[in-house]
Chains A and B, each alone.
Chain A
Amino acid sequence: RKEVEQDPGPFNVPEGATVAFNCTYSNSASQSFFWYRQDCRKEPKLLMSVYSSGNEDGRFTAQLNRASQYISLLIRDSKLSDSATYLCVVTGNDYKLSFGAGTTVTVRA
């Protein structure tokens, strides 16, 4: 079983729509969770950390479900600039990040 699994998509949504997707992780001892964003042919960049109580950053909402071992990302009022691959990242209490293969989101006009 992969450490981190994501639905690869693509999720094709119109501007203004809401899109949400999940990521599951296999290590129940995982402690920290992140969503990174990677644009085509660019490097990954941190989008947001995911906290136990859930957190929002503008149009982005992240949730953590430890019991079912998944995290989610919801994007409200999608913009064309949200088109990217979203990488789920999970780590224990050290430097090693485990990456998912990414979920591709395409927002169309």
Chain B
Amino acid sequence: ETGVTQTPRHLVMGMTNKKSLKCEQHLGHNAMYWYKQSAKKPLELMFVYSLEERVENNSVPSRFSPECPNSSHLFLHLHTLQPEDSALYLCASSQANGGAHEQFFGPGTRLTVL
């Protein structure tokens, strides 16, 4: 079983649509992350969940809404997105018991907003 999986891998949506991105980790980690990666830009941390509690929300617009029902699953609910939200959305997981730990990334969802 692949460590971190994401679905869908590709998504095209209109600005009025509502969709959700799903992430699942099979590594026994207790922290999960959403990142946005736009072309030629550094990864931008969007949200962090540690032990199923949201511990970070990096001034992300409310049209992005995360959900973490348990330590293995993470969702990103999308609604009324803008074309500039088109990017690669990466999910990652790690251990959250203090200190910096390697983060394992999923393959990402490539999102296009028309």
Q: Which residues of A contact B (CB under 8 A)?
A: 2, 4, 8, 31-32, 34, 41-46, 49, 87, 91-102
- Pair B40/A97 contact, Cβ less than 8 Å: no
Quick check: which of B12-20, B68-76, B77-85, B98-106 contacts chain A, the rest being far away? B98-106
Residue of A nearest to B103 (CB): A97
| B23-42 vs A, Cβ < 8 Å mask (1 yes, 0 no) | 00000000101000000111
A99: which of B31, B43, B99, B104 is its contact (CB, 8 Å)?
B43
- Pair B96/A95 contact, Cβ less than 8 Å: yes
CB contact under 8 A between A95 and B107, given known A34-B102, A43-B90, A101-B41: no
Q: Is residue B113 within 8 Å, beta carbon to beta carbon, of the partner chain?
A: no
Distance to closest chain A CB from B93 (angstroms): 11
Residues of A within 8 A of B101 (CB): 95
Q: Is residue B108 within 8 Å, beta carbon to beta carbon, of the partner chain?
A: yes
CB contact under 8 A between A43 and B43, given known A95-B31, A96-B48, A96-B56: no
